[in-house]
Structures are given as structure tokens and as C-alpha cells.
Amino acid sequence: MKGKNKLDTESYKGVRDFYPENMFVQNYIFGVWREVVESFGYLEYGASVLEPAELYVAKSGEEIVNEQTYTFKDRGDRDVTLRPEMTPTVARMVAGKSNELSFPLRWYSIPNLFRYEKPQRGRLREHWQLNVDIFGVENGEADAEIISIAYQIMNKFGAKDEDFVIKINNRKLLEELFTHLKLDPEQTKKVSKIIDKKDKISPAIFEASLFELIGDKKTELIDLLSSNEKLLDTLNKNAGENGSQNAKETVELIEKLSSIGVTNTVLSPTLMRGFDYYNGIVFEVFDTHSDNNRSLFGGGRYNNLTELFSDKDIPAFGFGMGDVTAKDFLEVRNLLPRYRPQTQLYICNLGPEFLNHVRSMADSLRKAGLNVAIDLSNKKLGDQIKTADRQYIPYVICVGENEVKSNTYSVKDMQSGEEKRVKLEEIAGVIKR
């Protein structure tokens, strides 16, 4: 029983503690992220978790700012926010040095982010998010590169094409559609929000909410949103002789992706993505597994965000991929590697008088590149070995008088039970194999 006045050992609601086995999974995920994005020439940047609250007010969207940020007053009466996303930060950094930086910039980061959400599967109050962004390229080649990086990450994790689908939309298509329906700016804004929520509400509520806002125009809206062919036809007709540029741009992107091997894409005109700063192509990767049928991650084009800081518009395209949804995806599909600690060797002793010898042995093995822990417990040998076993350390050596005299040691492989007797100089070779 816990004594009175003891603090709770639970972490704060909605955030996680990372015990070594959790850390192993996280490092694995981060490792795959880094490997793929660096292979495309993306450079890592970083920034503080603290940002002035005003950074999010203009462009992140009402829901994030009013309901989801951790904002507080600092001792100097300034409003400070724990960053809920990285995009405004990176836009600030790029705008701040736009004269010195050489474009196009390919940048990535893996920040810890904070959102005051109702904790649930895939949604916590803290997560880590890979951000991959390209600045300075206006054409669809950048969109295709970023989406293909997203695809390659899934591929590196061991996902097959049928395990996920990449939904693609263009916000400008919707703008054209709203113009076609002659919606006013207020209606446009509200209808966009309803479309954004479409998959979270029932068709009846979706229809009723639209009716309330735009009356009978809802019938044509729903009709066009439910058929890509009809939608593109209508927009092309409205645009006149050359057809709709935006429709063309969107279809071309999907074709380009297909030509570079990314074929699990689908045009989804109802895909909005919440943030106000997106103003072109948006995309979102969805899990197709019935036990985890949800959005995994997404991003899009945001050409005007640097406008917040300077007169220069720097075109940008990027995405954010969270570690929580990535881990759920990998778990459901059994794609996570088995836990292995970084420690490779545990050296036990037959008595404290051998500790000095063990220590100097460990030192020389560390110099040879091994990660070595030594037992300091004075416990029985069997218990020392059990410690190594419980920590999944793959190799064990026990040191007593014989070993010290002969300078020969039995290296035990804990998984197979096999033992090899070797000289000190040979130990690293046996273990590294």
C-alpha cells in the first residue's frame, strides 16, 4: 500500500512515459523517418517548444487555437503557447532568413507537439511528428516528391500498397465548386467546415447541416461531391475552352505519382484538412485495416504562410506524420521489430573480488565498440544471469578465478544457449557477428 501524501506515479493525462521498450519503438520509427527523408536530401532543423501565442491565431484555424492549445502567461505577461504543430514555426524560420537561404529548401524535423485533445486511440495531448517540407517550388513536382516520400516511408516500414490509401484533393477545386454554386464568403467558410467533418457525422446530419446553410443548393453540392467525373466535368465546362487549370493540375499530379510507382491514390474532393493555411493540393494517408480504419497522416500546399512575417510569399508543400498513429499502424500489422536493448553484453562475477578485473575487461570491450554493462549486485550468479535475461541482453559472460587466470571466457548467447570459449581479444568479434 502506498503511504499517505505520496505523489501519483501516473503521467499527466494524455501524455506518455517512455520506458526503455517504448523508447526502442520510438527510436525505430524515428530511424526509418530519418533514413528515408535524408535519402531524398532533406536537412534537419529544430526550434523551441515555446512560441508566442499570436503565431497560431492568423492561419492555423479556430479549432486549434481556441480549443486545443496549451497557452499561458509568462512572468512578463506575454501569451506563450506550447507548439501544437511545426508549420508556423518553420515558416517563421524560413521567412526570417529568406535572403540568406538558398532555395529550394528541403527541411525536416521531429518535434514534440502539444494539443489539448480528448485522449483516445491515435489522439493524445502530446505526440512527436515528422515534418517534411519543401520551400521555393511552386509547381507540382514538389507535391509529387513530398507525396512519394510519404509513400516511401510507408514502404520502408514494410507496408504494402493495399495497406494504405493516399487521398488527394485540391482546395482550389472546392473554391471553383463554391463559385459555381454562388455561395457567399461566409457560406463558403461554413460549408468547408461541414465538408471537413463529413466522415465524422452521419449522412443525414451532413445533409441537414448543408440545407440549413445553403438551402436547396445542397442537392447539387452533394451530387457533385459524390462523383469525381461529374465534378471535374462541371468545373471544366465552367472554365471555358481550356478547361479548369485546377482540375488539370490535380489529375496530372495523380498521373505523375502513378508514373513513379505510387498508384494507391484516390481523388477525394471532400478531403479538406483543417488548417486555414492550405491553399492548393492537400493529401492524407489512410489505413485500410478494418481494426485501424483511420487517417494516419497528411499535409499539403501552403503558399502564403510566410506572408505572416514578410512581404515575400514563399511557396511551400509538406506533411506531418505522428508517432502515435504510425505505431498503431505498425502494431495492427505486426510490423514492429522485436525489442532489443542497446546493451550487447552483461558481465557477471563469482564474487566482488573479481569486480576490478571485470571493470577493466569491460573498458577494453567498450573501446572495441561494444555496449557492456557489469553486474554490481553481489547477488548469486544465477540471479545475476536472470537480470541480464529479464533485460533481454543478448550475451552474458561470467568471470571467476578460472577466467582471470586463463584470460579465456565463455560467451553465452542467451537466445540459443550456445557458449563459445574465447580470449578477451576475440570477444568483440563473436558478439558483433
Q: Under the rule (CB under 6 A), what is the footprint of ligand HAM?
A: 85, 87, 115, 117, 123-124, 127, 129, 131, 133, 295-299, 318-322, 324-325
Q: Would you give the distance in Å from CA 393 to the centre of its chain? A: 29
The DSSP letter of residue 63 is: I
CB of 221 or CB of 272, closer to ligand HAM: 272
Cell triple for 236: 471544366
Tell me the pairing of strands 419-423 and 408-413: antiparallel
Q: Which is nearer to ligand HAM, 315 or 398 (by Cβ)? A: 315
* Nearest distance, CB of residue 307 and ligand HAM, angstroms: 16
Which is closer to ligand HAM, CB of 87 or CB of 250? 87
Q: How far is the CB of 107 from ligand HAM (least distance, A)?
A: 10
Residue 68 Cβ vs ligand HAM, minimum distance, rounded to whole Å: 8
Question: Rounded to the nearest whole angstrom, what is the least distance from the CB of residue 174 to ligand HAM in the complex?
Answer: 18
Q: How far is the CB of 237 from ligand HAM (least distance, A)?
A: 32
Residue 283 or 395: the one with the smaller Cβ distance to ligand HAM is 283
The 50-52 sheet, strands edge to edge: 50-52, 79-82, 70-73
Query: DSSP for 359-383?
Result: HHHHHHHHHTT--EEE--S---HHH
At 166, list the grid cell.
Answer: 493516399
Helices (H) and strands (E) in the chain, counts: 16, 17
- Alpha-carbon Rg for the chain in angstroms: 28
Q: Among residues 107 and 178, whose Cβ is nearest to ligand HAM?
A: 107
Tell the smallest beta-carbon distance from residue 167 to ligand HAM (Å).
12
* Residue facing ligand HAM at closest CB distance: 322
Separation of alpha carbons 95 and 307, rounded Å: 8
Please work out, in degrees rounded to the nearest 5, the angle formed at the alpha carbon of residue 142 by the alpha carbons of 137 and 143: 130
Q: Which is nearer to ligand HAM, 140 or 320 (CB)?
A: 320
Q: How far is the CB of 202 from ligand HAM (least distance, A)?
A: 23
Q: Residue ranges of the alpha helices (H) in 277-407?
A: 323-332, 355-367, 381-390, 401-406
Nearest C-alpha neighbor of 245 from the set 257, 256, 232: 232
Nearer Cβ to ligand HAM (144/321)? 321
